[in-house]
Structure 1
Amino acid sequence: MASDKRRITSVSIINEVDVVSCRQSAKQIAAWLGLSPLEQIRLATSVSELARNVYQYAGSGVFNFDLRLDSRGLVKGICFDALDKGGGIPHIDRILDGSYVSPTGMGVGLRGAQRLMDEFQIDTSPSGTHIRACKAVHPPRPLPDEHSIQQIRRQLQAEGAADPYVELQVRGSELLLTTAELQGKQQELEATNLELENTNKGVVALYSELEKASSELKDASEARSRFFSNMTHEFRTPINIIENISKLLLSGVDGTLNTEQHKQMRFIADAASDLSQLVNELLDLAETESGRMEVVPERFQLSDFLDQLRQFTGALAMRYPELTWEIAEPAFDLPLDTDRNRLFQIMRNLISNAFKYTPRGSVTLRCFQPDEDNLEFVVEDTGLGISVENQSRIFEEFARIRAPGMQVHGNGLGLPLALRLANLLKGDIHLSSEPGRGSRFHALVAREYNQRQPVLASLAGTTILVIDDSPADRYLISHLLQPYEPVIIEAENASSSIDKLHAVRPDIIILDLDLPDISGEDLLESMDWSMHSRVLVNTAKQMNDDERALLGSRCQAILNKSHPNHAETLLHHVQRLAGRYHDAN
């Protein structure tokens, strides 16, 4: 197996001129690999400070320069080992955390060198000191060929002792370059602040218009809900009369019907039943939209609820002789404390929908417990499947997907109502499907409707980077987290976030996927694996199961911006990550 390091050169520190030579070697290696001028200066400055410490406090030592390789053989970092046999560095922990104050200034260069490097480790004792440090190379680059490596080695050896006066001129030029870079950044910052000031004025005006439009939309929605509610109540009385008289006539109490009359009354009874179901679903939709639907939690066992679903599904299956069905018994049983009738309504609609769109094959229901607080029901069928463009439409009111060669009965309200009810029970429904290969509906609900809210901890000292191109979304997140006093840094695109990721290394990263320059997935891929454990993906993007699984392996959680409980979910995950971070420290 090949080594993950490749030695480039070694520089001995014996006299003061060797400090300059060591710095020049570091800068030339960085330039040889194509690092930016500022990265070259950072590496060279760190090496220079450490080499001067070796000469000043230990008398002599050696610097070994290596290239670090990843599993593919690409160069991912420039590293060095600084070794001396001096008397060690006292107060090393206090020097590195900044709490040690020396009258001679000892330790300032050591701490500065640490900040300039991406990795820094020091072992010191009375018998000597060993410093290992590395500057990351982004993105990883191919390892130069053997001829190029030998050439840079000869170049470094040939230059020999450095001229301090020439080096002083070079460092002066580097200082000017760094100063110019800082001035440029300052000008960019001033221009950005001016642009933000102008943008904020427009945002205030926009929010005023949005509030007005939102108020008008709310009034229209309430009027629509009142209309549905009033009309459906008015419809119920005549429908009930039709249903009851139909049943009375079909029973033969007032005389036997002939065959034709019996057939006609059966049509009337079936139509009245369908109309009654439509009225009930319209009324339920109106109540969920208006917020007037009452939730009545009760305590019951999951096993009892599954038995109720088996009875319903068995009766439904009599209409579908070419279908097989199963409600799988989970390996666990647990108590639920939620609205049993509403939960049954959700599952009844999902199961009925699966039967309608499966001309032959099977329908299966399984239960899972993804975490302590939630329960997931999965209804899977081997039916027609749903194309990607239709997967969002099926949750729209009165939307019905045409099935070639099939006549599907229904009013297009079952799935929208199931989704509204799932949201009402602090859950959600999402779908994965493929034409010709069936569908899978995932219904997630809270085990306890009235969950006890935890006392939320302070986020003081926690750094949170919000990467999102939407000013409104960034504002909402900042406003949500502000009472807990974290340090919030914002980035409107991937490019502006990269410097912040490496300079600050935030404790938590809230990442949108739809960025204007680089996709959130690509930005996540470019991060080192240690950063993945800090990422919360915050998106409105629709994903299938495979996409969610792949993305989920690279982050801590995937949050849906459009979910009605989005704010609570975001705050929960931020608190969880912050607690884990502080425990580790």
Structure 2
Amino acid sequence: MSNKTGKRAMTIKNIKFNIQAKIIAGYLAILICLGISLLIVNNRMTALQKEANFVSSHDIEVHDLVNQLQKNVLDMETGMRGYVITGDEQYLVPYEEGSRSWLDNYNNLHSLLIYNGGQRHNLEEIKPLIHSWIQNSGEYVIRAKKANDTAALNQHFKENKGKKLTDQLKQQFDSFLQEEKKLTAERIDKLNQNNFNLKITFYTIIILVTAITLLTAFFLANSIVKTIKQVVRTIQSITDSKVDLSTRIKVKTRDETRDLAEAMNNLLSSLEKQSWIQKSLTEISTIYQGITNINELAHTFITKLAPMLDAVYGVVYLRKADGQEVRFVKTAGYAIKDKENVASSFRLGEGMIGQCALDQRIFLIDTLPEDHIKLTSGLGASSPTNLLVAPIVVEGKVEAVVEFAALQPFLAQHLTLLDLLQDKFGSSITSVLGRMEVERLLSESQVMTEELQAQSEELQAQSEELQMQQEQLQISNDFLEEQNHYAEQRAAELKKAKDELEEFSIKLQESSQYKSEFLANISHELRTPLNSILILSQMLMESNQEMDKAEVEEYSRVVYTAGEDLLRLIDDILDLSKIEAGKIEILTDEVNMTEIPQILKSMFDPIAAKKNVTFEVVTHPDVPPIISTDGQRLQQILKNLLSNAFKFTEKGSVTVQMELAPEGKLATEEPVLAISVTDTGIGIPADKQQIIFDAFQQVDGTTNRQYGGTGLGLSICREFTRLLGGSIELESEPHKGSTFTVYIPSRLETEPLQEEQALKEVAAGINEVAAAPIPFEKKPQSSEQIFKDKKVLLVDDDARNVFALVTALEKKGMIVRVAENGKRAIDILQGNDDFDLVFLDIMMPVMDGYEAMKAIRQDLNMVNLPIIALTAKAMKGERSKCMEAGASDYIMKPLNIEQLFSLMRVWLTEQENRV
């Protein structure tokens, strides 16, 4: 038994592993390591592929959905605005489509952000804004338009609620997109980091495989040591090159190590192709962000992709639909020498481009003739031999066709990359085209809105303004010289007044455009009532026996009203001149404050009732019943402020509040009274709130201003308040109203000032000029028959002038039609071309005379219709300005009625001769 056991032990001991077994064992160990390495690398590559796919698909889809959501909002706003402007319900189609689609796009986007709480929260803040805009702006405006509720529409657009919401939405979208771009950049950085980690992993695997190989080689026979060392050196060289995937293992043997080397080379080739495709796909996908122009997108795409495909020539044809015909038009090219040799467009089925679009498949040609196309450089020209034509298909529709030419064949990885780019490039094309269409529609909507709201304004040339001022001063000088002939004893005073006027002329020459506008407006305000006085008084003088009592009374009433307007205007001018000279008289007396509310109510209650405006006077209990000040000046301040408040308030209320001001308001120990006048009128812009208190300056002093007046009232109020020892403050906001607050001490200690005799002389002289009859010679009437049944259009916004002129013209047997402004005159002339003559005032609201004349001559093409310009602007060059605008003739207010009839005879006769 013992002998058998000893023999068995010797047999096992004598068994030796031959070289083949060792080689098999070594190779088996290496293959196992390589298999594990491949699994690890493949796993990391799969993870890297998923991350790259997430960046290239998820982020672009998020951007597309955000753009679609923005487009939905813009479609709704554009449709709503188009419907409000035109009243055509076809404009509501994009509104309704946007209203149906935005929530789906929002929900899709919301679901994509399930793992991004921050962005999801930002998106959730946008949803109530869209709901709010639809309910409070979109639906509200459409309902108001359908109900023809113009007042509600005007109020809505004045408050600008919709604009505020859309601005807030735009800001939220911009913030959201900025954050999304930041996240995309972070993901790309993470992808790059993972790629780097893959390299580290690969390095580690190579090192481990190398170590295992070295350990295995230690136990192998000397016959295979040389081959193994060669493999090790090759792998080591790959490690030293920092995983350059283009590196290949080279072996000269024909044994199993060669198979190992080839397997490794195949692995490297596969990794190199996949890495190149993913890297190229990522690079091209990221260039789309931020591009909003289709030409820029196509140019960027072809410029980036052509070098990647080793192409020496490239061109992009984009789909263009013209009615039923679809063409593919060249939009961008790469390395094109002679643009005339490149076809600009193809129809479906026409040429390879059209056939590619029709078949929706790739054409690959590797035998191009030499004369097909030439690649030129500074050293010569070559002929590409390979052609690649590929469609860009999105949802079954070809959006573009790309063509590339190369000197060498296109590789499989090139075709793979081009195939992967189809959806992304096609989606970018549709997204950019949609964004461009939205921007175009928005731009058209804004242009239409601006055209409806636009009103032209003309400015007076400064040289003409200064000349007009000098002419006015010359008239004053001539008057003073004439007065000198009547009374030598007043020569000294008149000389002094003349010197003061000359000094004032120097100041006028340094004043701004506001003073010129004031002079033009004061001329208009003086001449307008004076014109009606002269016309009606002349008619009363000539035709008194032919008029009945009612006509005489009416003429007299208009003359009286116009005279009162002149008197008030002269009083304002004299008050301002006294204040500026520092010679106003302040009379201090006890003023009963309990009487002020009743006085103001009796003055302005009728005005408030006529304008349907609420008027209240509120007195605080702590207001002292008696104060010491100039009661007349205080009442004048309040009357001026209330007159302005009612003039600029169309609806709402006007309120007077009297109370004690806070302590220390005027740096006086006496109690300070605060009287505020608050209205709900048009308000005053912030940049105009100081200048309106300056003399000769108004918020709107142009010829087509909506509100009349000279702009002296607030200047007088400020100076009177200052003379009473107080101050005046203003708080206002456009379209919300204004509050003027007057602060005056409850006790004023002043000494009355004596006005100088010279100022009285000047004031008397001005009154004499205003009261003078302008002499004229009565001419015998002739050819009266020419006026009979002639049709005249009178365009004037002043009711007194209209009454006077209509009465005078109708007495001649003429048919008169009246328009209150230039725009109304255009509307009348568009439907009636049988007018024989047009009288056109220059200074009118809405559309002034200059604009109206240009529209009649150019837009209506009425080049032969006589137009006589009526103007109260006594400025040099006014006649030439009217003639350049299209006037046939020019006459200045106040009108000489006989001169007017004489001018009419000339133009009516010429009109008859022309007919």
Which range, TM-score by smaller chain?
0.3 to 0.5
Q: Hey, which of these two has a bigger chunk of strand by percent?
A: 1
The structure whose Rg is larger is 2
Q: Which has the higher helix share?
A: 2
